[in-house]
Structure 1
Amino acid sequence: MVGVEQIAVLSVGAVASFFMAWTVGAGWTPYAPSVGARTMTIMRAAFFTGLFGIAGAVLQGANVTEAMAAGLIEGVSISPIGAVIALTVAAGLVAIGVFAGYPLATAFTATGAVIGVGLALGGQPAYAKYQQILLLWVLTPFLCGGTAYGLARLIRRDDVPDEYTIPLFGGLVGLILANSPFTMLAPEQGGASVAAVLSEELPLSPLLGLAVVTLLVGLVLGGILLLEVRSSVRRGQRHLLFGIGALVSFSAGGSQVGLAVGPLVPMLTPLELPILVVLVFGGLGVMFGAWMGAPRMIKALARDFSSLGPRRATAALIPAFAIAQTAVLFGIPVSFNEIIVSAVIGSGYAVGGEKTSTGKILYTVFGWVVSLLLSFVLAFGLLTVVEML
């Protein structure tokens, strides 16, 4: 039986979790390059961000949720009070960033807060997980920004027309999509990719079967866009950009919902609720957050960081999709704004970076670092004081 006191704490935790989910969604900017390319309005971008985001939360959110629930601290479980403090601190800092117009890294604040309360409870650092997280955080600007820069430089070449680059980019997206994990395909294993599932049906070795299915998906998507650009290059480009934005929004849901509902999971153990219920709860929060708060952040990135055309916007979104799916696959909490900002900056520098605000970039990075340290200190300090009382 769940007592009145437990219900009260759980209610506060649920409110804090939903608020955190709202602020996470409000800070999303997957369609910012599309708005910067003037192929979509800000409000339409926010609507589709929320719509595809909740789908990703439900279908791909399990891995990161489990990591945030029990993967950051060893030896102890996060207490209900600790979860409430972690969620409140993280959500508060992200909300400040949203309303100030600067994209704080949600993963930095959430991770720092959970580690802070975990250590305050007497837990031990999960060094192996921290190495994975730190590696992805450090490599993201270089991999995402560097790939976006390279793709943007490629499509600027006069000898590489859109009739070839659009199907090529569609094929690249297909290769990534084929290997993206989906929880429903293998719930007991944390998810499986379409390529992994279909390759088991082929009379080939696992590695060769995986390669064949991956290549087939890429060829199908590339072929569809090849047929479309033959009738209208502009329509093919617009559809490619919208499709990648949808996949990036979907990936945002899968990689970000765990930041909000992960700390809530230990509190729900007595209720024995399936994780799907938790993911739907978090997905609703990020969807409403995207609809209500994301327009401000989309405008900030689309207009203030760099002015991208449709080509460079596409070049920015492809590596963003790849990095986000990597985070989902390994259950690593990653900042989606770090991904998008890196991609936008890399694509912007393909034309010399004359339209990229260096000052705002440095200020944003400084805000990320401060948010990580501040969330850790606040969460650790608050729980320590509560435990003393």
Structure 2
Amino acid sequence: MVGTGVVTLVIAAIASLFMAWAIGAGSSGSTPFAPAVGANAISVMRAGFFVGLLGFFGAVLQGANVSEAVGTELIGGVQLTAIAATTGLLVAAVLVAIGVFTGYPIATAFTVTGAIVGVGLAMGGDPAWAKYRQISALWILTPFVGSSIAYITARLLRSERTAEEVVIPFLAGFVGLIIANVKFVVFGPPDVSQSVAETAGDALSLPPVAGVETGRIVVSLAIAGVLAGLLAWDVRRNLEAGQRHFLLALGSLVAFSAGGSQVGLAIGPLVPLLDPFEIPLLPVLVGGGLGLLAGSWTGAPRMIKALAQDYSTLGPRRSIAALIPSFAIAQVAVFFGIPVSFNEIIVSAIVGSGYAAGDGGVSKEKMGYTVLAWLASLVIATGVGYGVFALIETL
């Protein structure tokens, strides 16, 4: 029995690596730097190289929350078996790979979630309605919130009433507040994530005021102030160079966040299989991160080109406007352990920033097909996952 269990675990791990490659080639590997490529701030090949490295580190440092949610919270009453995990991963990976090679960004989170729910229901599990409501809320709000923030930010950057030398440092300070409060496993005690602001704030030992942790606030504002000051100096020295540097920094943050979110879609189904073998989650996160890296380096350039050139004619301002809400939404998803599609996040933000300048070159036909692909991926993955696993069970 032990030998059979090891074999099935290995098969599931191989399926997980295939899924990680497909995600790296598609969602996490293509979307973070697509606006920067569209703005000619970085080449396609160089973007694929850096997004792979950043995604790997994000997967290792932030991947635990989403991984555990995908593995244990999408279905109730049953625990995924190795065969079920393998079936769900292969169904999702094939659909995502089809999207990669046809040039349409399949929503990875929709596909993986649908496939895992499908096989879970085929096992006789119960729908996890509370988690579904949480996931649905984020999925539905993402295009509205992301596009709205991107639109407002792009209009602010383009407005003649505001100087970019002031707006860009202000936006950098806002991003700094988020960075200060992003949770990492390396800062907390075992099995607990903690932010830089929490860790440094505790070290300051400042007394709370009205129940508010003053140390955390002081550190957050200090980090925001430092980043705002650096960008203020940069844009005043050379506005175009400062725009480019800010844009590349935002792309790097989104790439890191993509790794932290998307690795859970690849390795999450393995989580229930680890306890019997006493395998810790960290080395599995490393393996998933390597899969993302491989996908980014081998398959992402095609999708980067599709997003950068087919969806909107982007300049530096609109690219910055698209990446800021993308980073914020991604970190919200990581914090709550919600599987989220980076294609949905980035494409929505690109459209919002594009409309800030008229239609911004947005292809309505392309967007229509993309939305249909997102919805179809969820429905098809659920149905195929259920059907394939039910067939396996009968055999």
Q: TM-score, normalised by structure 2?
A: 0.95
| Counterpart position of 1:65 | 67
Counterpart contact for 2:150–2:325, Cα < 8 Å:
yes
Q: 2-side partners of 1:179 and 1:142: how far apart? A: 24
Alignment-mate amino acid for residue 176 of structure 2: G
Alignment-mate amino acid for residue 113 of structure 1: A
- The CA deviation string for residues 210-249 of structure 1, in whole angstroms up to 9 with x for no partner, is 3322222111111111122232222221111111110000
Q: 2-side partners of 1:119 and 1:182: how far apart? A: 33
**Which residue, 347, 364, 376 being the options, matches 1:358?**
364
What is the CA-CA distance between 1:200 and the residue it aligns to?
A: 2.5
Alignment-mate amino acid for residue 204 of structure 1: P
**Which residue, 166, 179, 182 being the options, matches 2:181?**
179
Is 1:36 the counterpart of 2:42? The answer is no
Counterpart contact for 1:56–1:252, Cα < 8 Å:
yes
Q: 2-side partners of 1:38 and 1:276: how far apart? A: 36
Is 1:154 the counterpart of 2:156? The answer is yes
**Which residue, 165, 169, 172 being the options, matches 2:171?**
169
What is the CA-CA distance between 1:354 and the residue it aligns to?
A: 4.5
CA distance 1:40–1:369, change in 2 (3 Å): same
SS for the counterpart of 1:312 is helix
Alignment-mate amino acid for residue 6 of structure 1: G
| Counterpart position of 2:207 | 204
| Counterpart position of 2:142 | 140
| Counterpart position of 2:317 | 311
Is 1:213 the counterpart of 2:184? The answer is no
What is the CA-CA distance between 1:314 and the residue it aligns to?
A: 0.6
Counterpart contact for 1:63–1:190, Cα < 8 Å:
no
| Counterpart position of 1:2 | 2
Any unmatched runs of 5+ in structure 1?
A: none
Alignment-mate amino acid for residue 2 of structure 2: V
Is 1:371 the counterpart of 2:382? The answer is no
Alignment-mate amino acid for residue 370 of structure 1: A
What is the CA-CA distance between 1:159 and the residue it aligns to?
A: 2.7
- The CA deviation string for residues 304-330 of structure 1, in whole angstroms up to 9 with x for no partner, is 000111111011100000000000000
SS for the counterpart of 1:334 is coil
- The CA deviation string for residues 325-363 of structure 1, in whole angstroms up to 9 with x for no partner, is 000000000001100001111000100115100011111
SS for the counterpart of 1:185 is coil
Is 1:122 the counterpart of 2:121? The answer is no
- Report the count of equivalent residues: 388
Is 1:345 the counterpart of 2:351? The answer is yes
Is 1:22 the counterpart of 2:21? The answer is yes
What is the CA-CA distance between 1:204 and the residue it aligns to?
A: 2.9
SS for the counterpart of 1:200 is helix
% identical equivalent positions: 56
Is 1:298 the counterpart of 2:297? The answer is no
Q: CA RMSD in A?
A: 1.3
* Further displaced range: 266-275 or 135-144: 266-275
Alignment-mate amino acid for residue 282 of structure 1: G
Any unmatched runs of 5+ in structure 2?
A: none
Is 1:257 the counterpart of 2:259? The answer is no
Is 1:110 the counterpart of 2:112? The answer is yes
SS for the counterpart of 1:158 is coil
| Counterpart position of 1:194 | 196
